[in-house]
Structure 1
């Protein structure tokens, strides 16, 4: 006995919710792996990127700027999808990276290699090579202000 339209709609809704909640489990149920899907999406994005290059060059040769612009937009979209797919493929290979954050963005370690120090008043005998440029300038400003009676 076939399912009614209401039952089909509810089934599709539950399937979408499952895919959003746990894509790895949903792909396991479907029988396709995330790595295979990401690879397929990356290859398709590469083909579409080449179509964009053809459009861009056709627009440049025929001097029709809307065609060239459309080619550029197609190339940009394909590159975005392709890089996202490659990132997804790398995340599928390492489960720890996939669980970094649901949005796909993570924390980038960078900046200063040493922790910031609190502001301390230096004495005249302190080495000038210590601290950042702005800290040294602020210290010089304070010293001049103190020597001139607060002005």
Structure 2
């Protein structure tokens, strides 16, 4: 069911607000979705196929150790295929840092400390 015009405008406004106010969060979430590394994908799929073949051979010859080795090979293949691209993750983090203001990391730590202090002292102010 499509969104109404008012709901679509509200969603667009919320998205703009998120990009404007929480740029760190958006860059952190977006950093996980890098380019697809085709070399890793091909290698992982090949390892998984070879591992499946080794599992089948282990079942046919009734040797559990060979089947376990094949399963480990399949699991490794899946991990290699799903591995994120290394270079893009670093670029995403560095570009997110450059988008912030120059003194932001120090200010953020101080800001969080101040918030924690204010939270701890909230009862003292009310009394």
Q: Which bracket does the TM-score occupy, shorter chain normalised? A: 0.3 to 0.5
- Which one has a bigger Cα radius of gyration? 1
Structure ranking higher in helix proportion = 2
TM-score, scaled to structure 1: 0.35
Q: Which has the higher contact order (CA 8 A, sep 6+)?
A: 2
TM-score, scaled to structure 2: 0.40
